[in-house]
Structure 1
Amino acid sequence: MSGLLALVMIGAMVLARVGEMLVPHAASLMWISACAAVALALIRIRSVHRIARVFAIGALIVAGIIVTLRPEGLPALKQAIFQGTAFSAFLTSLGLIRTPVRASQVVSVAAAQLFSYPAKMRNAVMTYGAQAFSVLFNIGTIAMMSDMAVDHAKRATKAGKSVIDPRPVTLSALRGTIMMTVWNPIGVGFAIVTTAIPTLDAVTFLGLSFACAMLITAGGLIISHYETTKEPQFDGEAEEDTANGRALWAILFAVVLLILVTLSVHHVLHVSFLVAACIVLPLLSILWPYIEPTVRQSTAGTRSQVKALGEASCAMANEATMFFCAAVIGAGASIFLTELGIADLIESGALPMLAIILACLFLVPLAGALLIPHSIVMIMAAQLFGTGPIGQAHPYALALGLCFSWACAISASPISAMSIITGRQLGTSPSRVTSAINRNFTFYCLLVCAALVSIIYYLE
């Protein structure tokens, strides 16, 4: 049942967005997609986390208030429902790719090859490498690289050889994955800003966000250097096993190809990156088992596509429910703040645009640090300012500030999946990961990004 609903949700959304410029009334298919998304959320409601259920109740209350007390806000509510549906479809599509990636022997070998680099290069290689791997593997990159470091350390200890410290490997994987969220065109943060800011050219922003992420990552390596002691060279056995870099280059090529194909779909079909990802990711999940024999021989290669969609919707149920509901709640908050005259204050200059962008940059991570789900704050800010004066006058500064606020919120939030996984791998609490281990990196990112956003603001 869930597989069929997921198929309807993704298929109807893609047909609606691709066909709305060609076929009359094709956009009405979005209502079918939205109904499927709501049905999926309802049948999963008892199994999702408590915070997701709280979001669902909040969304119902907000929708009820708009329908009964603010009927002029119905177009905004409709747009929020469609946006939430698109997020749900995107997250389910993202969940589709996880199973073949986990079953891929090429991915495992390529990740192991990162350990073969000399100790002086290893931190940089792993941090940048984690950004590439996490495009495919997402948050699984952290546990995968950390587990590999622990495994190699155990084998090296038994053989009496020098041992690599798993801790800096885990931190490199965490920080690389965090930076990936800034520029990844098939990532959630990128999808939020590119759909919420109509004046933003997504392709240009992809290049800008990628360049800024690479720059900030380079500076972050200096912080890592002072946080950890000098690592010994890796054991000779592992270096010999991973000397051939074909698997690593194959994965890097696959990531670049995935991005290029997504860009092409976006350009040719005139759809958002979010919709393009909902076309490309399911297609990749179908083709992967035919490209790699080890995946074809696993359960990832033998299951039906409908079953795979059901499993993906189940795996991403928490995220899909929260993002759908956050879009609706964000619409309500946007309507309320607009009625308070926020837009008028911005247009009059009483509220400086740069100050608001920088406030978003710092407030979203602060919400995460205070255990407030940062996704709802991020979506509210994007909906409130994306179509207003700020989004019209300074789309790139606003988009960059929001994307980095999203990344820093992940880094600062003890309830983010990345912090929880990192704490588990390091044998400590997620709160210590955010407040102590990763604190300097978060502050560094915020300060440098504030400078970059200010420069871009004045250049626009």
Structure 2
Amino acid sequence: MTQTPDTPTPPPAAPPAGPANAGAAVGAAGGAAPLAGLLSMLLLGALVLGRVGEGWLPGAQALTVLAAAAAVTLTALRLGRVSRIAQIFVAAALVALAGIALMLPAALPAMGRALMQGTAFAAFLTALGLIRAPVRASRAIALAAEALFAHAARVRVVAVSLGAQFISVLFNIGTIGMISDIAGDHDAQRAAAGRRRIDTRAMTLGALRGTLMMTVWSPIGLGFAIVTSSIPALDPVAFLALAFAAAMAVAVASALLDARHAPPAAGPPETAPPGARGALWAVLAAVAGLVAVTVLLHRVLDISFLIAACLVLPVLALAWPRIERGMARPTGPALGRIASASEGMATESTIFLAAAVIGAAVAQAAQAAGIDALIESGQLPALAVILGCLVLIPAVGAVMIPHTIVMVMAAQLFGPSPVGADHPYALGLALCMAWALAISASPISAMSIITGRQLGLPPHRVTFAVNRGFTLFALAAALALTTAVYLLE
């Protein structure tokens, strides 16, 4: 199974915080764990310092090169422990690099830039791994999810779908299982009390759809990072607003359609558990603060959202246990914790590092074949390219081909091209929506697997039957929204 940060395999619902969990991933690495932790710290620290210090810090460029060397060394160190598909990606990247060196040596500088982009992805994933432990141990997030159920049936469908979109910024796909479990508990309590039951399937699907829409706009999501780092003409802050508005439009419309099938209100008003509403507002404030700080760092330090997230997430991971009351603080050496975080994202880091190199090679070959000239002459219309990406990437996911590589290739091929130069927002929106829809359409995505597990269905039935209507509706809406943005640009 191919996994991405937006679709990793989830842990148990509420694992305890502490060194035992941190040691599990490190134990899998064996004696290489201390070296992996040191390299991960070097990767993250050198990249952030190098990017922030560009223009004023002597040796900043050398720091970014050092970060790339750490990323490559890490990949080689744990190649035997990552998934088979990640190993295939690495082999393909080496073949692609050799092919460019032999046939298009003038394109080697572009391959170097692609390696740096892949290094940034690997550093980001390490930072994302660091935030996992406090988020999973957070009682506030579970309470926030409880607050979404304190509504009548029709409102509950909308509340869960939209609420899951924000909670999953922090909890990622763990939101699906958490909300499904809460729905099951509420349903059992209602059945015991002789009250109207909760449609647990609708709640699980609402959580799935909210999590899917989160991947369109989350500034700490890989899809958003790929797009904003690959289209030079794109203003990431303006695009964040556009992507958020588009995702909310699709989510609200879909939730309202689903709510029509829920029963009308009956019985006494729903009540939330003590502290649940406060926890929900606290989580919403945390998400808003995370976005605001990321935007602020992007503007003030003149760094990409990706690098800003690499700076913000470790700080948030360190601060969270000190802010939330009752949460156990992490113990053990920092090197062990960062080794655990890095090891937990090893497959994803390897895939994205290799995919950046492969995508650059394909883009360079296509440009050498004259694809830019076809676009500029009108023989390959820009709108056709943009909408083609929007349809092709989910189609690849639907036939169980990893969509990651197609996404990266499309972004690297068309982002710097006349398409990305003239229509950056339409292209960016198409790619971000395609990323979410590919996860929705793929039977091998972890979101489909988790949802199937919760519903007692095989993942392909979730994808091609239960969630098919949403995927097709979201695709139609994305095509319309992207075309509108294209015409207005």
Band of TM-score, shorter chain: over 0.9
* 2:416 corresponding residue in structure 1: 387
Q: Does 1:332 align with 2:361?
A: yes
Match of residue 165 from structure 2: 131
Q: Distance in 2 between matches of 1:32 and 1:363?
A: 36
Q: Compute the displacement of 1:163 (Å).
A: 2.5
Correspondence for 1:247: 279
TM-score (norm 2): 0.90
Alignment of 1:17-416 (within 5 A): 17-225=51-259, 228-230=261-263, 239=271, 241-242=273-274, 245-295=277-327, 297=328, 301-416=330-445
- How far is the alpha carbon of 1:53 from its aligned partner? 1.3
Alpha-carbon offset, residue 21 of structure 1: 1.7
Structure 1 residues 365 and 231, CA gap change in structure 2 (3 angstroms): farther
Q: Tell me if the contact between 2:152 and 2:264 (Cα under 8 Å) persists in the aligned partners.
A: no
Q: Is the 8 A contact 2:158 2:256 kept in 1?
A: no
2:20 aligns with: none
How far did 1:197 drift?
Answer: 0.5
2:438 partner amino acid: A
Distance 1:421 1:234 in 2: 33
Partners of 2:443 and 2:369 lie apart in 1 by 33
SS at structure 2 position matched to 1:42: helix
Q: Given that residues 146 and 272 in structure 2 are in contact (C-alpha distance below 8 angstroms), is that contact kept between their aligned partners in structure 1?
A: no
Q: What CA distance in whole angstroms lies between the structure 2 residues aligned with 1:63 and 1:188?
A: 23
Listed as ranges, the gaps of 5+ residues in structure 1 are none
- Shift, 1:233, TM fit: 6.1
Aligned AA (1:378): M
Check whether the contact 1:116–1:242 (CA below 8 A) recurs between aligned residues: no
What's the offset of the Cα at 1:69?
3.1
Distance 1:452 1:432, change over 3 A: same
Q: Which of 20-29 and 98-107 deviates more?
A: 20-29
Ranges in structure 2 where 5+ consecutive residues have no aligned partner: 1-33
Give CA deviations for 1:404-438 in whole Å, capped at 9, x if unaligned. Answer: 01111010011111111111111111111111111
* Structure with the bigger percentage of helix: 1
Deviation at 1:308, TM superposition (A): 1.8
Letter in 1 for 2:65: W
Aligned 8 A contact 1:164 1:234 in 2: no
Aligned length: 455
The Cα offsets for residues 265-313 of structure 1, whole Å up to 9 and x where unpaired, read as 1111100000000000000000111111322x2xx52243322211111
- CA drift at 1:317: 1.3
Percentage identity across paired residues of the two chains:
51
Which moves more between the two structures, 24-33 or 331-340?
A: 24-33
Question: C-alpha separation between the residues in 2 aligned to 1:305 and 1:244?
Answer: 32
Q: TM-score scaled by structure 1?
A: 0.95
Name the SS for the 1:10 alignment partner: helix
